[in-house]
Amino acid sequence: MSLPTHVRLVEVGPRDGLQNEAQPISVDDKVRLVDRLTDAGLGYIEVGSFVSPKWVPQMAGSAEVFARIQRKPGVTYGALAPNLRGFEDAVAAGVKEVAVFAAASEAFSQRNINCSISESLARFVPIMDAARQHGVTVRGYVSCVLGCPYEGPVAAAQVAAVARELYAMGCYEVSLGDTIGTGTPGATRTMFEVVSASVPREKLAGHFHDTYGQALANLYASLLEGIQVFDSSIAGLGGCPYAKGASGNVATEDVLYMLNGLGIDTGVDLDRLILAGQEICGVLGRVTGSRVAKARQAG
C-alpha cells in the first residue's frame, strides 16, 4: 500500500454546490463563503460560473463575487466558462483559471448540454485558444465517468477518449466525475487504470458523488491508484439537477477527515472548514450533508 503524502483538494461548493441548491443566495453570502474557505487553507476554490443568469440564476453575480473576495496568494480561484462568451466575461472579471466540462456519455451530453460529445469538445477549441492568449489556465471536467442516468454503465475506454481530447487541447488537469454516484471501488480503480494510459495519472482528479454512499470508498480506491487531486463540496452542497437521483457531492469535511486519518497532508484546517460549512448551511436553511459536521454537532 503506497499512498500519496499530499493531496490537493479542489473546493467546488461555491459553484457546483450552490448552483444545484434550490434558491440563489446573495453576493455578500457568496463572498463570505469563499473567504471562509480561503481561511480554512484550501488551495483551489471554484468561485462561480459565467453563464446566463436566465439559465442558472444561482450563479448570477459571479463577476461581483470575483471582484470582492479576498484573494490569498497561491490560491487558485476558478470559474466555469461553458462557452467563449462566458470565457470573455470571466477574463473581464479578472479570472485566471477557468473550467470546461464534457460528458463521457452521449445521452447525457445531449440532454445536459444539448450537443454531442464531439460537438461539445469542438466548442472548447476557441476557449482554449483565447485562454492561451490571455494566460488563463483551463481545467477539464468529464461527467458520468462511472455511470449515466440514461445509458447505465459507461465504458472506461469512452472516458479515456474524452479525457485524452481535453488533455490534448490544453487542459492541464482533467477531473473525472461520478455524476450519479453509482460507482464502486473496483470500477473506480479500473477506470483510472484505463484512463491513465491516455492521460498521465498526475494530471487526473477524482470527483465523487455520495448518492449511494460510495464516495469515500471510491476516493480511497483512487488514492491507491495514485490519484492526488480530488474535488469536493463544503457541507456536501449541490449535486446535479439534470441527473436522476443525483444528490450530493461528497462533503469536503468528510474527505478531509479521511485524509487526516490517513496522514495525508492537504494544508486544510478541519475546524475552520466545519465552521464555514455551518455558516453556509445557516444561510441556505439546510442540514449539512457532512457526516463529520453532524457528528461534531452531536458530540
Catalytic residues: 240
- Residues paired with 141 in a beta bridge: 101, 175
232 binds a copy of itself (CB under 8 A): no
Amino acid at position 264, single letter:
I
221 HSE (CA, 13 A, CB side): 19
C-alpha–C-alpha distance, residues 32 and 296, integer Å: 22
Q: For the CB of residue 150, give the shortest distance to a copy of itself in the complex, in Å.
A: 12
Alpha helices in the chain (DSSP H): 18-19, 27-39, 62-68, 84-92, 106-113, 117-134, 156-168, 185-195, 215-224, 252-261, 270-284, 291-298
Query: Of residues 133-172, which lie at the interface with a copy of itself (CB under 8 A)?
Result: none
Q: For the CB of residue 216, give the shortest distance to a copy of itself in the complex, in Å.
A: 4
231 binds a copy of itself (CB under 8 A): no
Among 77, 195, 254, 281, binds a copy of itself (CB under 8 A): 254
* C-beta atoms surrounding 113 within 10 Å: 19
- Nearest residue (CB) to a copy of itself, 189 versus 203: 189
**Which one of 20-28, 124-132, 275-283, 285-293 is the stretch in contact with a copy of itself (CB under 8 A)?**
285-293
C-alpha–C-alpha distance, residues 203 and 8, integer Å: 12
For residue 62, give the nearest of 38, 37, 86 by alpha carbon.
Answer: 86
Whether the CB-CB separation of 43 and 75 falls below 8 Å is answered with yes
- Nearest residue (CB) to a copy of itself, 118 versus 184: 184
**Judged by CB under 8 A, how many residues of this single chain contact a copy of itself?**
39
Among 251, 270, 280, 284, binds a copy of itself (CB under 8 A): 251
Cell 487531486 sits at which residue? Answer: 229
Among 12, 34, 60, 216, binds a copy of itself (CB under 8 A): 216
262 binds a copy of itself (CB under 8 A): yes
201 binds a copy of itself (CB under 8 A): no
For a copy of itself, the binding residues (CB under 8 A) are 1, 3, 181, 183-187, 189, 210-214, 216-217, 219-221, 224, 244-245, 247, 251, 254, 257-258, 260-263, 290-292, 294-296, 298-299
